[in-house]
Amino acid sequence: MARYLLTRLGQALVIVILVTLITFVILHFLPGGAARAILGKEATLEQIAAFNHDMGYDRPLWEQYALYLQRLVRGDLGYSFQLNQSVAEAITQRLPKTMVLSLASTALAVVIAIPLGVVQAVRRNKWPDYTINALSLLAYATPIFFLGLMMIILFAQVWPVLPPEAPQGFTLGEVLADPAGLVLPTVTLAVLTVAVYSRYVRSSMVDNLNENYVRTARSKGLSEGRVIVGHTLRNGLFPVITLLGMYLPALFSGALVVERLFNYPGMGLLFWQSALKRDYPILLGVTLLISVATVLGALVADVLYAAVDPRVRLKASRS
């Protein structure tokens, strides 16, 4: 198992380095450049040249990249002149808030999606299946900004029960002190995820219900509820684990829109603002973080899988 983990971590490292390389190259070929963004429209060419020289932006790209990696190894993600703080600091301030949003919406989505998927599988090709299917397709097809706007109009204006804006607290504690403000962003983000998860749960449960071991379970005279909950559900939920690992980073793109919409000072909003201002160090830092999250998400899913599926457990310990 330890060997398996080490191999996987090694692979993960390679992928993360590749992602930084690609991001680095792309950012540096974008028009505009950091200097203009920081020094303003009035800056002279000499000032820009001096700035670029100070920052090392006039050196060859590979040299810049090498320097970047060198700093990265020391834990230095760079410095944002526009925010006037280090990238690491900017991220650590905002990351917990985005994580609260992602985890809350994922938990909500899972809690809703699993029963929906199970109902669909058990009543497959009957009206409950068709109804849920239609609704989840609708949810899946609705752009997230539109959904968020509708939420605000419905629950903050027409029927004002919830605040239209996310909590603006600076620390995590302050944010959590205002749970009502988190409801709309969390629900908005969860709706899309429910649609994805419930489809997976449905198809996986349908497959499992057709398995021979379900027939064996029925032959013991078990009630249908026990057949489904006691036998099929555990096997049917395996794909959801993979999905959780794969989907957690993808939530970030949803967070980008939702945070902007509800003005929630998390990673999404940070990325959005930095992109507008061409704040390259921040953009690089955030991209790096997302790639690490993606790779780790997949790894955690695999390890989790091994923990719940005895068949995988055996293979993992063998290799």
Partner 1 sequence: MSLLRLVDLSTDIALRRGAVHALDHVNLEVRQGETLGVVGESGSGKTMTVLSVMGLLPPGGRVVDGQILFDGRDLLAMAPEELRRVRGVEMGMVFQDPLTSLNPTMRIGAQVAEPLRVHQGVSKAEARERAVEILRRVGMPRPDKIVDDYPHQLSGGMRQRAVIAMALIRSPRLLIADEPTTALDVTTQRQILELIDDLRDEFKMAVILVTHDLGVIASRADRVAVMYAGRVVETATTEELFQAPRHRYTEALMHALPESAQGREGRLYSIPGLPPDLSQPLTGCRFAPRCRHVTDACRATDVPLVRAADDHLYACLHPVTEAVTFAPRGAGDPRPSGASDTLLSVRELVKEYDAGAKGRVSAVAGVSFEVRAGETLGIVGESGCGKSTVGRLVAGLEEPTGGQIVLDGTDIGRLDRRARRRMHREVQLMFQDSYAAMNPRMRIDGILTEPLEIQQVGDPAARRGRVTRLLDQVGLPTRALERYPHEFSGGQLQRIGLARSLALEPRLIVADEPVSALDVSIQAQVLNLMRDLQTELGLSYVFISHDLSVVDYMADRIAVMYLGKLVEIGPASQVVRAARHPYTQALIDAVPSPDPGHAPSRATAIRGELPSAIDPPTGCRFRTRCPLAQDVCATEPPLQGGPHQVACHFPLRPESAAARP
Q: Count the neighbouring beta carbons within 10 Å of the beta carbon of residue 200.
A: 20
Q: In whole angstroms, give the CA distance from residue 109 to residue 247.
A: 12
> Which residue in 13, 213, 246, 253 binds partner 1 (CB under 8 A)?
213
| 41 belongs to the binding site for partner 1 (CB under 8 A) | no
> Which residue in 211, 260, 292, 303 binds partner 1 (CB under 8 A)?
211
257 to 286, contacts with partner 1 by CB under 8 A?
Answer: none
| Alpha carbon distances (Å) from 293 to 99, 191, 249 | 11, 22, 6
| 199 belongs to the binding site for partner 1 (CB under 8 A) | no
**Residues touching partner 1, count (CB under 8 A):** 23
**Shortest distance, position 218 Cβ to partner 1, whole Å:** 6
Quick one: CA dihedral 78, 80, 86, 88, positive or negative?
Answer: negative
Quick one: CA dihedral 288, 290, 291, 297, positive or negative?
Answer: positive
Q: Which is nearer to partner 1, 72 or 222 (CB)?
A: 222
Site string for partner 1, 155-194 (x = CB under 8 A): ----------------------------------------
**Shortest distance, position 27 Cβ to partner 1, whole Å:** 42
Yes or no: say if 198 and 252 are a contact pair by the CB < 8 Å rule: no
Burial class (CB in 10 A: 0-12, 13-18, 19+), 296: middle
| Alpha carbon distances (Å) from 109 to 49, 144, 175, 251 | 51, 15, 21, 12
216 to 255, contacts with partner 1 by CB under 8 A?
Answer: 216-223, 226, 231, 234-235
Q: Which is nearer to partner 1, 53 or 215 (CB)?
A: 215
**Shortest distance, position 230 Cβ to partner 1, whole Å:** 8
| 311 belongs to the binding site for partner 1 (CB under 8 A) | yes
**Shortest distance, position 243 Cβ to partner 1, whole Å:** 18
Burial class (CB in 10 A: 0-12, 13-18, 19+), 195: buried
Residues that bind partner 1 (CB under 8 A): 211-213, 215-223, 226, 231, 234-235, 308-311, 314, 318-319
